[in-house]
Every structure is written in C-alpha cells, then in structure tokens.
Amino acid sequence: MIPWEFIGSARLPVGGEELRLYKRGEEFSIRFDGGELMNSRAHGSEDALADLACAVIADRPRPRVLIGGLGMGYTAAAALKRLGAAGRVVVAELAPAVVEWNRGPLAHLAGRPLQDARIRVREIDVGRVLREESQAYDAILLDVDNGPGGLACRSNAWLYSMAGLDAAHAALRPAGVLAVWSASPDQTFSKRLRRAGFDAEEVGVQATAAGRGGRRTIWLAVRGS
Ligand SMILES: C[S@@+](CC[C@H](N)C(=O)[O-])C[C@H]1O[C@@H](n2cnc3c(N)ncnc32)[C@H](O)[C@@H]1O
C-alpha cells in the first residue's frame, strides 16, 4: 500500500478552519477536521452537480453560472463542457491555496479548467457574492461542504439558512437553478428550499461514474417568480 503524502494546507480566511491536501500515487484527497471533503477517485457527483443544473439552462442566451467551491475543479470542468462558447462561469473559492493547487498539483485532474477563457476565479466567500448580486446568474452551484449537515466552515451555515436561500433566490435570474451538493439527504433542507420559493427536487446520484462509492444528494431547485 502506497502511503499518503502531505502536500499542503489551506487556512479558510473566514472561520480559520484548515483544509489539508494529500496524495497517494495518482489519487488526491482534501481533508478537514470532519473527515474527507473530497477524493479524486470519486467525482461522479461533482460532475453531476453541473450536468443536472446546466441541462436546464445551457440553451439560454449567454448562460452565466456561479460555482461555490473550486475543490479539484471537476464541477467547473463539467459546467464548461455543458455550456457553449457564449457561456460564462464564475468560481468563488474561499481559500487562495486551493486556487494555487488547481494551477499546480491538481491542474491535470479535471483537464485544466482554469485555462479556459470562459472562466473567472474569485478568491472570495460565495456567500458574499450571493449577498452582493441581483438577478446575475442562470445557475448557482454550491459544493462548499459535505452538505447542510456537514460544514467544512462554521460560517457556511448561513448558506443553507432561510437568509442564505433568499439571497441565492435574489442572485438568480428568473427560472434560474440553484443546485446544492450533499453527502446525504435532508428533508428539512428540502422544505426550507420550498419555503424560500424554489420548486425543489432531491436527486440521488452515484459517487463514481462506475456506480461505486455510495450515493450522494443533489438538490435541484428552480427559482419561482
Ligand atoms: C468539496 S470542495 C468542492 C469540490 C468541487 N465541486 C469539485 O468538483 O472539485 C469544497 C470547496 O469549497 C471551498 N469553500 C468552502 N467554503 C466556501 C465558501 N464559503 N465560499 C467559497 N468556497 C468555499 C473549499 O475551500 C473547497 O475548495
């Protein structure tokens, strides 16, 4: 068995929590105090987050997508693949070191999406982008934690609260889609999405394209008028 090699750590500037990057052969793992945040061997659900949301909005003129959390770049790469030449992707990533990793040791994993001219990376809390923007996006994809019940950063609780969902609703264009990744289902969160004015569906997806590694949850929530 090849041992895990420590590559580096990233301190989250808002809550001060630490993310750590490890490598074992060709496999990469990002960990936090609550366990593993993600692993390069299982990105089927990160791809599905973009695939499901972009299937709804890709045909709109000049579709604009906001992604919260760069991670290893899989969701960003899948969104770019789904959008045409007129599409634009903004990635909000809280930890500058994660952006550096995506320009360095992690760049090849998702096919170097940061080199695509249609993408812009902002080193910023996605919550701040939601608070500042109005009717700006056709889709908002959130994968910043292990879900509403598994926070990587304590302050992210706001994103799943009524206030956070109201802000996401306001940041979306009419009939825009909010897609949220989670390690597990959560009926309370489904109800909260509906209370915030979304037509919300909880979709079960495979962790890997080969169907191994268990199931993950994605909420697909379409903004009502
Ligand atoms: C699970 S990873 C995202 C995985 C990504 N979907 C992919 O395909 O690789 C979570 C990422 O969200 C970032 N993050 C956590 N809280 C954030 C916040 N409030 N705003 C922006 N990024 C955040 C973390 O630093 C980490 O890079």
The pLDDT value recorded for residue 1 is 84
The pLDDT value recorded for residue 33 is 87
Q: What is the mean pLDDT of the chain?
A: 95
The pLDDT value recorded for residue 121 is 98
What is the distance between the alpha carbons of residues 200 and 202, in angstroms, rounded to a whole number?
A: 7
What is the distance between the alpha carbons of residues 94 and 130, in angstroms, rounded to a whole number?
A: 14
The pLDDT value recorded for residue 116 is 98
Residue 39: pLDDT band (50, 70, 90) is: very high
Residue 94's nearest CA partner among 140, 143, 47 is: 143
Q: Is the pLDDT of residue 166 over 80?
A: yes
The pLDDT value recorded for residue 155 is 92
Give, for ligand 1, the residue of 14, 93, 123 to mutate: max count of ligand atoms closer than 8 Å to Cβ: 93
> Tens digits of per-residue pLDDT, 68-99?
999 999 999 999 999 999 999 999 999 999 99
Residue 224: pLDDT band (50, 70, 90) is: confident
Cβ neighbours, 10 Å, residue 78: 24
Write out the E strands in 94-149: 119-123, 137-142
**Atom 19 of ligand 1: nearest residue by CA position:** 125
**CB within 6 Å of ligand 1 — which residues?**
19, 37-38, 43, 46, 68-75, 92-95, 98, 125-127, 143-144, 152-153, 156
What is the distance between the alpha carbons of residues 98 and 72, in angstroms, rounded to a whole number?
A: 8
Give, for ligand 1, the residue of 144, 159, 216 to mutate: max count of ligand atoms closer than 8 Å to Cβ: 144
The CA-to-CA distance between both ends of the chain, in Å, stands at: 54
Query: Quick check: 89 and 76 in contact, CB under 8 A?
Result: yes
Q: How far is the CA of 32 from the centre of ligand 1 (A)?
A: 12
What is the distance between the alpha carbons of residues 133 and 51, in angstroms, rounded to a whole number?
A: 24
The pLDDT value recorded for residue 152 is 87
What is the distance between the alpha carbons of residues 129 and 154, in angstroms, rounded to a whole number?
A: 18
Who has greater pLDDT, 115 or 2?
115
Contacts of 145 (CB under 8 A, 6+ apart): 37, 151, 152, 153, 156
**Atom 3 of ligand 1: nearest residue by CA position:** 71
For residues 30-56, average pLDDT: 94
Q: Is the pLDDT of residue 158 over 90?
A: yes
